[in-house]
């Protein structure tokens, strides 16, 4: 979590433990969590942490009631683990341990107050039937109180951490008064790009509805006045650019569809938007890229890294150091104040939020966050399509039914979409206007529906031909296969 004045750190031990857990999550578990919970994966993690914390607290209380030293030792061990998690976070400082230490003192004091004068359970406990609640005569009230004392470590740590982390106010104020620089050639949605079919994903996805998948358990709140971006590594000269300087650069707009590699066939972890920013190639030109470099390792303020092929940042595509989305400052969840937008690549190798550093390097020398965890190093987006309406297992009436959705092949472009009903011939769908090869296209097929249960499949077509029918999971380089639904016609 970012604090006012630009200091880093993660004051909350719960957030730190959650972040450390995310960093160590194997790909199969990440995919399972995203597939099961979607964009609510972090909420699910918080719930899981809360459950584990309650169980551990009960164990601390039980041990402390029977033997105070054992319960206190377990509590200290948990504090040590949490402290290690806090210090493992990027830009952590020793002062970030203060909320945790305060919580530990409160927890130990409460344990001593509730259990410190009690010895092991004895015959006198059996003489108090109103207090007896567990085997051995352990008092239910004392046990629950002792467990609750351990919970205080987390609760106090979170509460104090939230107070200490006041950066959200500074970031919110800066965002509210931010006026976007003018762009020489604004991008507009061409007529006919959005077919206006009810239930189909909007051609331009509203910022509040844009998907969010990242490793940040707590959204960084960054005051732009303290932000800067460094260019390091294999360059002729290191460059540092601050917020005020960035805003003086000639901005441009680009319409780009972003895609998460965790997106399943038919999934919705993607979105199209108009981004405003300064071309990355211009900043790299200022630094002077040295021969032999083939990758840029982008680093987030929270420590996340992505390894992006150098050529995708220096060619003629609209790779941007983005400051705005759909004409508004970036939302904190989407990278305020600055993020990367690179057409044609999955987000895990390109779409770094809360951008802090660009290191010019090589794939042989460096790896992004997800590559050593089993994911492909390059991450080009696969050509795919999705049926938005009708929904899978929907019931419709006989007659003309609009089968419609979106298709994408970023930086290659969609040339066609075809629909197949009940394993019959592939039929051409009608496409929305092609806005740019970096954006998706809407499509619709007017299906003459007849009574019965039918299976409908879709495939996109780019310049190389139809998308593959071969089924593949998201790992290691993106899902593939035809999106297929079943519909009942009355």
Q: Based on the domain organization, do 134 and 24 belong to the same domain?
A: yes
Q: Based on the domain organization, do 85 and 151 belong to the same domain?
A: yes
Convert the pLDDT of each residue in 365-412 to its tens digit: 999 999 998 999 999 999 999 999 999 999 999 999 999 999 999 999
- Asked which of 142, 165, 188 is the last residue of a domain, the reply is 165
Pick left, alpha or beta for residue 390 (phi over 0 → left; psi -120 to 50 → alpha; otherwise beta).
beta
Q: Is residue 215 reached through a cis peptide bond, with omega within 30 degrees of 0 on the bond before it?
A: no
Q: Based on the domain organization, do 201 and 329 belong to the same domain?
A: yes
Q: What percent of the chain has pLDDT over 90?
A: 60
Query: How buried is residue 139: exposed, middle or buried, by Cβ count under 10 Å (0-12/13-18/19+)?
Result: buried
Our count of domains for the chain comes to: 3
Q: What is the mean pLDDT of residues 178-183?
A: 88
Mean pLDDT taken over the chain: 83
Q: Which residue has the higher pLDDT, 468 or 80?
A: 468
Residues 6+ apart with CB under 8 A from 17: 49, 81, 82, 85
Q: What is the mean pLDDT of residues 298-313?
A: 96
Is residue 356 over pLDDT 70?
A: yes
Residue 379 covered by a domain: no
Q: What is the mean pLDDT of residues 260-270?
A: 96
Q: Based on the domain organization, do 196 and 142 belong to the same domain?
A: no
Q: Which residue has the higher pLDDT, 238 or 74?
A: 238
Q: Based on the domain organization, do 116 and 206 belong to the same domain?
A: no
Q: Based on the domain organization, do 135 and 14 belong to the same domain?
A: yes
3-state helix/strand/coil string of 16-85: HHHHHHHHCCCHHHHHHHHHHHHHHHHHHHHHHHHHHHHHHHHHHHHHHHHCHHHHHHHHHHHHHHHHHH
Q: Determine contact, residues 410/438, Cβ cutoff 8 Å.
A: yes
Q: Based on the domain organization, do 417 and 302 belong to the same domain?
A: no
Q: Determine contact, residues 21/88, Cβ cutoff 8 Å.
A: no
Cα dist. 468→228, 259, 266, 478 in Å? 43, 18, 14, 12
Q: What is the mean pLDDT of residues 451-459?
A: 98
Q: Which domain holds residue 421?
A: 384-489
> What CATH number corresponds to the domain at position 356?
3.90.420.10
Q: What is the pLDDT of residue 5?
A: 34
Q: Based on the domain organization, do 285 and 405 belong to the same domain?
A: no
Measured CA to CA, the distance from residue 383 to residue 466 in angstroms comes to 8
Q: Based on the domain organization, do 198 and 310 belong to the same domain?
A: yes
């Amino acid at each position: 979590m970012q604090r006012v004045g630009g200091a880093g750190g993660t004051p909350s031990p719960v957030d730190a433990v959650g972040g450390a857990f995310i960093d160590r999550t194997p790909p199969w578990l990440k995919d399972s969590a995203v597939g099961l919970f979607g964009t609510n994966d972090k909420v699910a993690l918080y719930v899981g942490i809360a459950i584990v914390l309650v169980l551990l607290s009960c164990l601390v209380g039980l041990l402390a009631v029977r033997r105070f030293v054992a319960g206190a030792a377990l509590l200290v061990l948990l504090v040590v683990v949490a402290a290690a998690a806090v210090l493992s976070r990027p830009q952590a400082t020793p002062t970030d341990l203060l909320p945790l230490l305060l919580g530990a003192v409160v927890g130990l004091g409460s344990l001593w107050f509730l259990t410190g004068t009690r010895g092991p359970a004895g015959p006198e406990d059996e003489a108090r039937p109103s207090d007896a609640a567990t085997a051995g005569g352990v008092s239910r009230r004392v046990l629950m109180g002792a467990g609750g004392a351990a919970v205080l470590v987390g609760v106090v740590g979170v509460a104090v951490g939230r107070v200490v982390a006041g950066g959200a106010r500074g970031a919110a104020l800066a965002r509210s008064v931010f006026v976007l620089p003018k762009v020489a050639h604004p991008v507009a949605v061409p007529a006919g790009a959005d077919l206006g079919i009810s239930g189909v994903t909007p051609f331009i996805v509203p910022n509040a509805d844009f998907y969010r998948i990242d490793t940040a358990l707590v959204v960084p709140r960054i005051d732009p006045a303290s932000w800067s971006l460094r260019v390091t590594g294999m360059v002729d000269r290191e460059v540092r650019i601050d917020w005020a300087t960035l805003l003086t650069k000639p901005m441009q707009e680009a319409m780009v569809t972003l895609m998460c590699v965790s997106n399943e066939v038919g999934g919705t972890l993607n979105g199209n938007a108009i981004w405003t920013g300064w071309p990355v190639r211009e900043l790299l030109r200022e630094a002077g890229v040295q021969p032999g470099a083939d990758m840029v390792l982008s680093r987030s303020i929270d420590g996340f890294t992505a390894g992006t092929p150098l050529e995708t940042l220096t060619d003629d595509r609209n790779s941007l150091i983005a400051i705005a989305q759909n004409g508004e400052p970036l939302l904190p969840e989407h990278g305020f104040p600055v993020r990367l937008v690179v057409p044609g690549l999955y987000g895990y190798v390109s779409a770094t939020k809360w951008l802090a550093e660009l290191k010019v390097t090589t794939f042989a020398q460096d790896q992004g966050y997800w590559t050593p965890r089993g994911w492909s190093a390059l991450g080009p987006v696969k050509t795919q399509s999705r049926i938005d309406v009708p929904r899978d297992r929907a019931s419709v009436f006989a007659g003309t039914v609009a089968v419609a959705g979106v298709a994408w092949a970023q930086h290659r472009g969609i040339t066609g979409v075809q629909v197949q009903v009940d394993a019959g011939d592939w039929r051409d769908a009608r496409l929305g206007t092609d806005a740019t090869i970096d954006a998706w296209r809407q499509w619709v097929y007017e299906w003459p529906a007849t009574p019965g249960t039918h299976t409908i499949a879709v495939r996109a077509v780019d310049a190389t031909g139809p998308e593959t029918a071969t089924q593949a999971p998201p790992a290691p380089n993106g899902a593939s296969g035809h999106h297929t639904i079943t519909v009942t016609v009355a």
